[in-house]
Amino acid sequence: MCGRFAITLPDEAMAQLFGATPSNDLPEVPRYNVCPTTQVAAVTSAEGARRLRPMRWGLVPHWYKSPTDGPLLINARAETVAEKPAFRAACRERRCIVPASGFYEWTKDGEGNRLPWYITRTDGAPMAFAAIWQDWSREGEDKVDGPTVAIVTTAATHEMAEIHHRTPVILEPDDWAKWLGEEGKGAATLMTPPQAGAVRMWRVGREVNSNRASGASLVEPLEA
């Protein structure tokens, strides 16, 4: 799964990378501990124009009466995203890309302590997570007031499988247009794990176990 990530690219750099027009209310960057239910930047495409927009991480299906009316849907499994009622319409009509610099995953030691790892691309390029989105709004205290998003995950292979059985779907630049629906059908073929050698990972300090932790030190390799 993907439950935390980092994004360090400035808004203008993200917009230029994806050829998108940035909104003026994007969440602040850099952020080294992006958590569910917070705002993230996402790339959408409509009528030939891409936008970089803020979205709440945690897709809220249209039938939810409040954002907490059911499970927190931060991830959507690639194997079932086209079939699950909460995701299938979004998978067909509302695919997007969530930029990231890297993400965190956890293993456990013999005593059950959670040991965090940071995963990023081997080539140093930004990551582009495949994602889907859904507008949701209700009047009242729990009003979300905007789009919500879930990151698509798939079975891990190669390096990632050593620390977790799931991984975000990381799109290559040549695949962005197809995922965004700009090049016809075939998006389902993109929901695959990273190729061997595409990512690298290292242990980081346990400070990131807290969703309140912040700062560049969170992604620094743990000293032996």
Structure tokens at 204: 């980081």
Q: Please give the pLDDT value at position 172.
A: 97
Residue 61 lies in a domain: yes
Residue 114 lies in a domain: no
Residue 12: φ, ψ to 5°: -65, -35
199/45 Cα distance (integer angstroms): 27
CATH of the domain at 56: 3.90.1680.10
**CB distance 5 to 102 below 8 Å:** yes
Residue 189 lies in a domain: yes
Residue 62 lies in a domain: yes
Residue 170 lies in a domain: yes
Burial (Cβ within 10 Å: 0-12, 13-18, ≥19) of residue 63: exposed
Question: Strand, helix or coil at 190?
Answer: helix
Residue 203 lies in a domain: no
Residue 112 lies in a domain: no
Residue 141 lies in a domain: yes
pLDDT in tens, 124-164: 999 999 999 999 887 655 555 689 999 999 999 998 999 99
Q: What residues in the chain have per-residue pLDDT under 70?
A: 139-145, 224
Provide the domain limits for residue 163.
Answer: 5-104+127-198
The total number of structural domains that make up the chain: 1
CA distance to 2, 7, 97, 147, per residue, from 43 (Å): 18, 14, 5, 12
